[in-house]
Amino acid sequence: MSALYDGLIAPFAEFGFMQRALGGAILLSLSACPVGVFLMLRRMSLTGDAMAHAILPGAAIGFLFYGLAIVPMTLGGLVAGVVVALGAGFVSRLTVQKEDASMAAFYLISLALGVLIVSLRGSNVDLMHVLFGTVLALNDEALTLIGIITGTTLVTLAIFWRALVAECLDPLFLRSVSRLGPPVHFVFLGLVVLNLVGGFQALGTLLAVGLMMLPAAAARFWTSRVMPMVLLAIVIGLVSCVGGLLMSYHASLASGPSIILVAGAIYILSTLAGPRGILGSRIRPQRHRTA
């Protein structure tokens, strides 16, 4: 019993930085994982990765003038993400290039520009902080920001839930019966940017999308219904955060990559053991044949 306490509970009970890291991780899971499910269902998973890199120049500009202050970097990242999203949509609508190609182009430019800006003033340590985050260094200001983002996301999802589900399943039908199609699309992109900015505080620009997409992708192998998929993605996100933080604490590993690796392990397990995974899809036809 003592070993169980020392291994699972003591790190969070005895250290304030672990408590703040856990609080931030829980808030991010509640917020980012549902957004990841809708990204996946809309076949926009790589768009989330591109948007994660798109916020880097804005965050880097905030860092250039104010250092690692949370508010300037957050506002800069938010503005940069919105600019890239609108720019990619603008190019795709006025040229022959598809939105995914224009998003990839903007993402590559943004990544290079952001790294260059950070390197103008910061050290390699600062660059690592911006790219990979420091979840164990979350302070009250960062937790407040992530909490606001989580609340905004959950309220917005509740308001636009039916429209978001309809657009995932049949966007042409939604446009034929309602004018909500284009506005919902941009509202959703706004939620993506907002959650990536929140994740940036804890996991950095390169890993923020991991907590958004891996739990969602893992949940897809266990259910085909949207609401259970969202709830399961949140649970997987929470387990990944707790497991990653404990692994980081006991093995003295980087916390952000540890969280994403635990989520990746759950994803691989789901691809094998989930009812809609490799083994499940092989067993099901055999049952039909024996019946």
Q: Label residues 139-167 b or e (16+ Cβ within 10 Å = b).
A: eeebbebbbebbebbeebbeebeebbebb
**Per-residue pLDDT tens digits for 83-135:** 877 777 777 777 767 766 777 787 788 878 888 887 777 666 666 767 667 77
Structure tokens at 109: 């430019």
Largest CA distance in the chain: 69
Structure tokens at 2: 């003592």
**Per-residue pLDDT tens digits for 110-120:** 878 888 887 77
**Per-residue pLDDT tens digits for 157-212:** 999 898 888 877 766 666 666 666 677 878 888 888 888 888 877 787 667 888 99
Q: Which of 99, 119, 97 is nearest to 107 (CA)?
A: 99
Domains of the chain: 2-276 (1.10.3470.10)
pLDDT of residue 173: 62
**Per-residue pLDDT tens digits for 216-257:** 999 999 998 999 999 999 999 999 999 999 998 999 888 888
Q: Are 259 and 244 in contact (CB under 8 A)?
A: yes
pLDDT band at 290 (very low <50, low <70, confident <90, very high): very low
Average pLDDT over residues 274-284: 75
In angstroms and rounded to an integer, the radius of gyration of the C-alpha atoms of the chain is 20
Residue type for position 157: L
Structure tokens at 73: 């970097």
Percent of the chain with pLDDT over 70: 85
pLDDT of residue 125: 64
pLDDT of residue 37: 93
**pTM greater than 0.75:** yes
pLDDT of residue 291: 42
Residue type for position 5: Y
Q: Which of 189, 187, 239, 185 is nearest to 214 (CA)?
A: 239
pLDDT of residue 247: 92
Q: Are 189 and 63 in contact (CB under 8 A)?
A: no
